[in-house]
Structure 1
Amino acid sequence: MENTVWSLLPPLLAILFVLLTKRVLVSLAIGIVAASLLLAQFNVLDSFWLIWDAFSGVFVDGESLNTWNVFILLFVLMLGVITAFISMMGGARAFGEWMIKRVKSRAGAQVMTALLGIVIFIDDYFNSLTVGQVCKPVTDQHRISRAKLSYIIDSTAAPVCVVAPISSWGAYIIGIIGSILVTQGINDFSAFSAFIQMIPMNLYVWAALGLVFVIAIRNVDFGPMNVHEKRALQTGQVTDPAHKEVVDAEEKLPISKKGRVRDLFVPLTILFVSTVGMIVWSGISATTEEMTLINVFGNADVPKGLLVGGIVGLVVTFVMYYSQSSKNEGFQNLNFG
């Protein structure tokens, strides 16, 4: 059933079950199983081995560790841990309170969210986790629905990451381009330089970013988002009351009331500097031709840079967290709210 209309069935099933169940992982699993059954002509045992081969291929390449995928997965995992520590230290809360005093309009709160979404481009998951945590106090203050906050974050996080070479998605795309160049026998330019040349042609990115600012500044809402916005403006309810059972994961974490703005920016700055620094260093070490910026980044070991940068950022964040907890007589006696 390859190369037929039946190949559309797995993604359609996944999308359908997402809409019906609101459970992304379960829906993706259904799509994967459906795809494997189609490829194996509905042979259950062969389908199982297809799934296993695809899964193991994420971690093993031939007989060696697939460092590209593993390092990026570890980087994303560390980003989640860093975000949790920043939240527990109160850094995100402190920045949110600082911004509340300076952002005076709904349009300003939305533009601020979009700008932060562009600035924090290392990873789209990290972007969403961090920007969401930082901007919620500000957008809640101005009665901006969580639906619109989610839209702004999602429409800046992923688009910016896919055109930023120094990001987890940028690294992944450069790797794909490199494989294509090798397969086609193209050696006139590196994967990195090809990626850079493709950036202006990524029309979706520029359209998505432009639309975000138009909607934020002009408050042009339509469809279901308009319903959420009207409810937020009229009642102050920024979340859908029909989904009260949904609880944000970070709200289950204790948040220090002694947090400062630097508890947010220091870990992020260290993470960014160490990641970029490691990528540049690996590129310089591997460059044997002319030492240009394109060649340096083209020869850089981006996944390794992301991993080392993530480790450095995690260590610094943990040290800051431990220092704060020590000054407050240990974790148990921290002034959490």
Structure 2
Amino acid sequence: MDVTDLLELIPLILTLVLALLLRRTLIALGAGVVLGALILNDFSPVTSLKYLLNTLTSQFYQQSQWQWWHLNVLFAMLLLGIMTSLLGRSGAVDEFGHWLSARVHSRRQARMGIIGLGFLVFIDGIFSCLAVGSVGRPIARQYGMSPAQLSYMVDTTASPLCSLVPVASWGPYVMALLAAISFLPVSALDAFIAIASVNFYAVSALVLVGLGSLFNWGWSEHAVDATEQAAGVDNAHQQAQRPKTPSPWPLMLPLLGLLVGALAFTLASGVTLAKEPGMAAWLAAADVGAAMRNASLTAVVLAALMALWCGRGLHPLMIDMLVGLRSMALAVGILLLTWMIGALIKDLGSAARISALANDLLSPSLLLAGIFALCAIMAFATGTSWGTFAIMIPLCAQVAQGMAPELLLPALAAVMAGSVFGDHCSPISDTSILSATASGAAVHEHVTTQLPFALIAAIAALCGFQLLNLGASWWLAWAMTLMVGIGLLLLWQLKQSSGNLLKQDGQA
């Protein structure tokens, strides 16, 4: 490798190193973009600055045309941030929690109710952690669930679910990264759906938390002490003293508006733009970015109207919206820099060099497992799945395209899966910290108790990815993934049961 080849890769190397050392994705991407611009323009500050400004503006306006995909993605992300803030700050989540508590009458119902709430508030990982943890905490206390068990259920129904749903806040972000891949064989939406269909870790984690909650596998009921029981009774008393019957609709109506609106606007744009009849043609021709923007706007309007109807003042409502906008600032900044570094990689010619190095150094037979492990390490070290997506999706796409183009979409699924797994195991992850805090558990306790379940799902996912890598069919890979995951969960339950019996014998 000569000096020119090394210069092509230095911006990417710097980005990766800074991300691992500083754990600040925005700073790492920014440094990579600036250095890449300097290298491309012979280290001329003025020319490099002009290049950076032109690269940034071209993401929104290029060749006398507005880049509506990028604009709509940003609008959708900001609107979902506003919706999240409205639901959390207006009392919609608390109202739903009181409504749910009145309908829970057993430990199993308590566990499944908390899991169900996690599936309901799918719009954002951080919002899900805070909402489900806050709502589930008094229910868990009343029905003998430890804070660690609650935090595991909260965390495992947050990020994995968001990584599978295109209308969650993750959807526009990831699809924007996918749309920037010039050799992607399908649309960004089709790619997202295809990636989700083989995201073995996310689905395995959700299946395991569902089975574990249904049968209480891997956990033991703990006795409710007098303090906890008094808190549970007090909570029930407070519910009985509420002046009005709690309603689920302040939370559910905006979420239904988001789901139904996304489908309706997608089909409407497809019918308008398609040249051929039929559902497949409509979906292929649909303007997904505009549909997600319009659905998000619909959900925000419904959330605001419900907040006003429940007595929220106009001034607090405006503050809620500003808080929501501010909450998305970091994600928007990361996305903009990701688009810019993608343009730099193209202009520097780094893509061809990355593909050549991958062909020389990596084994095609371990491509998917290797990407899964690499992204897991990256997310664990940085504590962020979104930051790992931003850096590793473009990079691993180039590697897969150069080594095995037929595995491009499964490779991107491995990026998503490994990033979520590493984020789950990281004690510095925002979702780990918020899940523990909202559930009343210590962060280290949450991470260590969640780790066995995350490892089980990761081992099952590795089996699925390796089978795909070896040419196995989609259904065989999924069958083996689920068999391995459920089998290991049963073994973990047997180990836990044996440990509890030995503890009881020792106490006797």
- Superposition pairs for residues 297-336 of structure 1, below 5 Å? 297-325=283-311
The letter for the 2-side match of 1:133 is A
Contact 2:157 2:206 in 1 (8 A): yes
What's 1:288 paired with?
A: 275
- With 8-17 and 39-48 compared, the bigger mean Cα shift is at 39-48
- DSSP 3-state at the match of 1:218: coil
The one of 33, 36, 42 equivalent to 2:33 is 36
- In 2, distance between residues paired with 1:153 and 1:51? 41
- In 2, distance between residues paired with 1:151 and 1:16? 28
Instruction: Report the alpha carbon displacement of residue 276 of structure 1 after superposing the two structures with TM.
Output: 1.9
Contact 2:133 2:151 in 1 (8 A): no
Instruction: Report the alpha carbon displacement of residue 306 of structure 1 after superposing the two structures with TM.
Output: 1.5
Instruction: Report the alpha carbon displacement of residue 29 of structure 1 after superposing the two structures with TM.
Output: 3.1
- In 1, distance between residues paired with 2:135 and 2:166? 31
CA deviation profile, 1:67-119 (whole Å, cap 9, x unmatched): 22222222222223223333344221121122234446777555444433334
Contact 2:126 2:158 in 1 (8 A): yes
- In 2, distance between residues paired with 1:288 and 1:47? 44
What's 1:138 paired with?
A: 136
What's 1:14 paired with?
A: 19
- Superposition pairs for residues 177-196 of structure 1, below 5 Å? 183=183, 196=193
CA deviation profile, 1:156-208 (whole Å, cap 9, x unmatched): 3443344334555445656666776x747x6xx76655654554322232233
Cα distance, 1:107–1:3 mapped onto 2, change above 3 Å: farther
Unaligned runs of 5+ in 2: 1-5, 229-241, 317-508
What's 1:72 paired with?
A: 73
What's 1:248 paired with?
A: none
**1:271 is the counterpart of 2:266:** no
What's 2:217 paired with?
A: 218
Contact 1:156 1:209 in 2 (8 A): yes
Contact 2:140 2:147 in 1 (8 A): no
Cα distance, 1:199–1:317 mapped onto 2, change above 3 Å: closer
Contact 2:11 2:32 in 1 (8 A): no
Instruction: Report the alpha carbon displacement of residue 12 of structure 1 after superposing the two structures with TM.
Output: 3.4
- DSSP 3-state at the match of 2:286: coil
- In 1, distance between residues paired with 2:48 and 2:146? 43
What's 1:96 paired with?
A: 97
- In 1, distance between residues paired with 2:205 and 2:10? 30
Contact 1:10 1:31 in 2 (8 A): yes
The letter for the 2-side match of 1:142 is A
Cα distance, 1:85–1:179 mapped onto 2, change above 3 Å: closer
- With 204-213 and 266-275 compared, the bigger mean Cα shift is at 204-213
Instruction: Report the alpha carbon displacement of residue 281 of structure 1 after superposing the two structures with TM.
Output: 0.6
Contact 1:168 1:306 in 2 (8 A): no
The letter for the 2-side match of 1:16 is L
Instruction: Report the alpha carbon displacement of residue 138 of structure 1 after superposing the two structures with TM.
Output: 1.7
The letter for the 2-side match of 1:163 is L
What's 1:82 paired with?
A: 83
Unaligned runs of 5+ in 1: 19-26, 222-229, 237-255, 333-337
- In 1, distance between residues paired with 2:195 and 2:307? 41
Cα distance, 1:85–1:162 mapped onto 2, change above 3 Å: closer
Aligned length: 286
CA deviation profile, 1:39-58 (whole Å, cap 9, x unmatched): 23494836655654554454
Cα distance, 1:190–1:331 mapped onto 2, change above 3 Å: closer
Contact 2:175 2:192 in 1 (8 A): yes
Instruction: Report the alpha carbon displacement of residue 282 of structure 1 after superposing the two structures with TM.
Output: 0.7
- In 2, distance between residues paired with 1:50 and 1:269? 44
Cα distance, 1:132–1:12 mapped onto 2, change above 3 Å: same
- Superposition pairs for residues 150-299 of structure 1, below 5 Å? 152-167=153-168, 169-170=170-171, 183=183, 196-213=193-210, 216=213, 217-219=216-218, 260-292=247-279, 294-299=280-285
- DSSP 3-state at the match of 2:247: coil
Contact 1:279 1:300 in 2 (8 A): yes
- In 2, distance between residues paired with 1:47 and 1:214? 55
- In 2, distance between residues paired with 1:67 and 1:146? 45
Q: Percentage identity across aligned positions?
A: 25
Instruction: Report the alpha carbon displacement of residue 296 of structure 1 after superposing the two structures with TM.
Output: 1.8
- In 2, distance between residues paired with 1:44 and 1:111? 60
Contact 2:11 2:33 in 1 (8 A): no
